[in-house]
Copies of this chain bind each other. A is one copy, B any other.
Amino acid sequence: MNDHRYQTGKNNLEKMNDNGFKRLKKSLDDIAPDLVRFVVEFPYGDIYSRSGLDLKSREIATVAALTALGNAQPQLQSHIEGALNVGCTREEIVEVIIQMAVYAGFPASINGITAAKKVFERLDDGK
């Protein structure tokens, strides 16, 4: 019934962070397959497919929010990778995270930069 939403989500994930999604699916598919499906359908099918804001701005918003919340390191790393995939430069990502020191404090910003460093190093190592 929701084939269209699922397919739209899959298409967006392929552009944004397909490896991240495959890791998520592999990790959660035996315990909560419907949560995996909801991730495809709602964020990627319903939200990231919306016009009105480009994907690059959407990933800037997500990296900002996850840095500020400070309790979702795996997802922050995934979205830093996603931000690169949709056209953000490393410098732009670092700027977003530094800026969060103002709104969520220096520890959140420092821990966000540490996440970015891990992602950049992983990519440089070709993993």
Contacts and interface: CB of A to CB of B under 8 A. Distances in A.
Nearest to A106: B102
Interface string A40-63: 001100110010110001101111
A43 to B, nearest CB: 4
A11 interface: no
A53 B83 CA distance: 14
A105 B107 contact: no
A24 B39 CA distance: 25
Contact of A105 (B34, B104, B110): B104
Contacts of A74: 107, 110-111
6 contacts: A32-B97, A47-B98, A58-B99, A61-B96, A62-B102, A72-B108
